Structure formats: structure tokens, C-alpha cells
Structure 1
Amino acid sequence: MMTSPSGTVPLRAVLFDRDDTLARTDPGVYREAALWAASRFGLDAREAGQRMAEGWAAHAEAWWHLRSDEDEAAFWDNYRADLGRALGLTDGQAQELMAAYPYERFMKPVEDARAVLETLRARGLKVGVLSNTLPSIGRTLEALGLADLVDVAIATCTVGVHKPEPGAFEFALDALGLPAGAVLFVDDRLENVEAARALGLRAVLIDLDGRVAGALHRLSDVLALVGDSVEG
């Protein structure tokens, strides 16, 4: 069992980032989507893929201030219109493309993600996700096959404050109903890990590419930090 430095607070939950922690972008889906669009609408596959990549890059920061599902729906409407113009598609064709390849389809769970969450739950721990992402975090976790193993899922857009700002972590702790010392936080960005530690969470860096010394290099490494059981 993992305890706080004082030895008085047992671990009660693990709070994960989503991207590059529980899930990764699948570059193969980008190629698949470009080939699908080329076949369906008579486009050049290479150009279609380039336009799609450029379109997402152009909107990559536009979601930062979304607050609700309605805000996100408007965001995707605008994105679809811009993508359709870039590809020379009608609005109906652009709708068809986005229905076939929605945002969540471009993600895949990291190795052993489901097994790790199942093990944490079996050991009596709560599982949370805190991600700087759009409001539709629940839909993405469903697509990843992990939603049923997550007790609390928070998209910082809906909170109005993003990691590494303290308010994002404080909101997550309130949602979990736990003090900071009872929560282990796992994230791929050092600034987020350091911010969590400053608030009293037990936090570790994960680097799935194996480049950062001292970081976790597999999601399953979390289990060794947790131990076999949880009191209380």
C-alpha cells in the first residue's frame, strides 16, 4: 500500500491524464481517413491527408475556451465547414466524412490500459481522469473502452481552468471527494506533475516513449507504486 510521506493517509485513488497516458493518437487512422475520403469523394489521398492535418492544426487551440456540449457542437460545426471548404466538399459530404471519422476514432488505448484500471478498481481504488480537452471526454473514454472503469472524468474545458493551474486539480479532488494526499496523479507533462505535487498530490511522470530517465515507461508501472491493497 502506498502512503503519504507522513505515513498517515492511505492511497484512495489514482487520477490519470488521458492523452499520452491512457490513450495515444493513432497515426494510421489519419491515413485511413484520407484514403476513405479519396475513394468516397474522388479526392487525391495525399492532398486530402495534408488538408485534414492542416485543418486540425488551425483549430487546435480554438477549443480552449469551450465550456459545454453546446459550445463543442458549435466548434465542430465551424470545423466541418472549414474542412469542407479546404477539401472542396459540399456540407453534406463534410458531414459524412466527420461522421465516419469523428474525433474519438483517432485515439487508441495504450497497452494494458483496461487491465491496469481493472486492477486498480479491484484493489479498492477510485479511478479518475483529468484532461485538458473538449467537453466530450465521456464519449472518448467510451470509444477507448475505458468509461466503465472511470469513477470521475473531468475535461478542463468544462471547469474553465486548465492544468497546470491549481484550480483544475482542486476541482478533481472535490469530484473524487478525497484530500490531495490520498490521490496519486499520473501525467506525461512535467509541469502538470510539479503543479500536482505542489498541492500535495502524489504525482509521477509517465513517458511512454522511454526517453525520460526516472519516469514511468509503461502504464502498468503504476501498479507497482500502488501495492496490493488499500485500507479503509
Structure 2
Amino acid sequence: MVTPDDRPQVPLRGVLFDRDDTLARTDRGVYREAAAWAAARFGLEAGEAGRRMAATWAAHAEGWWHLRSEEDEAAFWEGYRAELGRTLGLTDAQAGELLAAYPYERFMKPVEDARLVLETLRAWGLKVGVLSNTLPSIGRTLDALGLADLVDVAIATCTVGVHKPEPGAFSFALDALGLEAAEVLFVDDRPENVAAARALGLRAALIDLEGREPGALHRLSDVLGLVQASVEG
């Protein structure tokens, strides 16, 4: 059994999850679908359109860290739309049509058993939170994943102004949940975030959905085993 740590335990009252590669994954098939849609709609070559779309996103993928609100994010997407249009040779209206058909959240899918795991945690009386280094629209993405109704607190770190693994990101999440660090299990796919959470007193577990990291959780449903072990212990 994988255990988050071996320190003396107080009753567990909440589970705080990362989003990407923990609760959700990027659906690579949607990239191909979007490129094919743009090719058919605007007379582009699908393969080249896909490559240019990927390159444009890669150039903007880290440009959201300074955003603080959904209004800031709207301006970010306006800039992205203009650049995407230039890259693909589309008008602003055409680029806007592409982004409307394939918004950011459409490229995500929930991991296996995501809804079942969150439903079970809530049924056991635990609070569920999400803390993600992402854009302000985290609520919209969780809604698109079909998970928003099972999440008590969803925090995009850019709205807080501190990102994981900075301590302030975890402190903000704990305050929002109304729980103490020792009462919360944190689950994330990045070792540096797990280490930072443990240093602050949270119970923490690394998840690796690819199954490459020895000792990590390899399925989201493994979280339920950790919670049960905590309760039984």
C-alpha cells in the first residue's frame, strides 16, 4: 500500500487535488479533430494547420501566469486569437470561430473513475478541493469535465498570485477549505509540489498515471485506499 507519509495522523477531513494529470488529462485526439475541422471549414491543409496550432499554443502556454481574473483571461484569449489567425492565415472572425468551436476546456477529459472517486469522498463526508497552476477559468474547466458539482473549493493559483510549490498557494487552499494542514490529503503529479505540501504539514501523495514512478499512485482510485487506510489507522 502506498502511504502519503508516516507522521502521526489526525482525522482526515479533506482531499485536495491537482487538476492536470491528476483529475484530468489532455485529449490529444481533440488536437487532430480541431485541425481537421479548421481544414474543412477554411480550406487549410490539416497536417500543417495542426502543427501551426500546436506551435502557437506552445508559444503562449506560459503567458497566463500573471493573470488575476477572468477579465484578464479574456484579454489573454483575445491576443491568442489574433496570433492564431496570423499563424493560420485566417481573419479575426475565422480565428474566433475556431476558438469558439474548440475552447480550452474541450481539450481536456476526466481521468478514469474521476467522478466515482469524488462522489465516494463526498459520501464519506470529506471536503474536496482542487488547487491547480492554471488560468482563472478553472470552474468552467471542471464543469466541462463533469466534476464541478463534486468540488467544494476550486483554486487557480494565478488568481491568488502565488503558484505551487510556493507555500502561499497551499495556505490559501487550506483557508478556503476551512481545514488545518494535517487534516488534508494532497494529491499531485509533480514531486516538487508533493514535497512542498508535506513540508507544510499536509499529508501528500504523488500520482503518476503513466505508471512509471515506483511508489506513486498509478490510478486515481488508489486515493480511496489511502483514505480508507487513514480512517482505519
TM (norm. structure 2) is 0.96
1:189-200 equivalence runs, <5 A: 189-200=190-201
Q: Cα offset for 1:20?
A: 0.1
Cα 1:82–1:102 shift into 2, 3 Å: same
Cα 1:3–1:12 shift into 2, 3 Å: farther
1:61-210 equivalence runs, <5 A: 61-210=62-211
Unaligned runs of 5+ in 2: none
Q: Distance in 2 between matches of 1:214 and 1:44?
A: 45
2:17 equivalent to 1:5: no
Letter of the 2:89 counterpart: G
Q: Cα offset for 1:38?
A: 0.1
Moved over 4 A (4+): 228-231
1:227 partner SS: helix
CA contact 2:22–2:209 (8 Å) conserved in 1: yes
> What's the CA shift string for 1:94-121, capped at 9, x where partnerless?
1100000000000000000000000000
Q: Distance in 2 between matches of 1:12 and 1:53?
A: 41
Q: Distance in 2 between matches of 1:98 and 1:26?
A: 16
> What's the CA shift string for 1:191-224, capped at 9, x where partnerless?
0000000000000000000000000000000000
Q: Distance in 2 between matches of 1:178 and 1:4?
A: 20
Q: Distance in 2 between matches of 1:51 and 1:145?
A: 30
CA contact 2:166–2:196 (8 Å) conserved in 1: yes
CA contact 1:134–1:155 (8 Å) conserved in 2: yes
Letter of the 2:56 counterpart: G
Percent of pairs identical after alignment? 83
Q: Distance in 1 between matches of 2:61 and 2:5?
A: 39
Equivalent position of 1:29 in the other structure: 30
Letter of the 1:79 counterpart: Y
Equivalent position of 1:219 in the other structure: 220
Q: Distance in 1 between matches of 2:62 and 2:102?
A: 20
**Aligned residue pairs, count:** 229
Q: Distance in 2 between matches of 1:146 and 1:3?
A: 28
Cα 1:61–1:229 shift into 2, 3 Å: closer
CA contact 1:4–1:182 (8 Å) conserved in 2: no
Letter of the 1:90 counterpart: T
CA contact 1:131–1:154 (8 Å) conserved in 2: yes
Q: Distance in 1 between matches of 2:203 and 2:20?
A: 20
Equivalent position of 2:48 in the other structure: 47
Cα 1:89–1:206 shift into 2, 3 Å: same
Letter of the 2:40 counterpart: S
CA contact 1:130–1:172 (8 Å) conserved in 2: yes
2:201 partner SS: coil
Unaligned runs of 5+ in 1: none
Q: Cα offset for 1:4?
A: 8.2
> What's the CA shift string for 1:150-181, capped at 9, x where partnerless?
00000000000000000000000000000000
Letter of the 2:201 counterpart: G
Q: Cα offset for 1:5?
A: 3.0
CA contact 1:4–1:11 (8 Å) conserved in 2: no
Q: Distance in 2 between matches of 1:176 and 1:101?
A: 32
Letter of the 1:167 counterpart: G
Q: Cα offset for 1:6?
A: 2.9
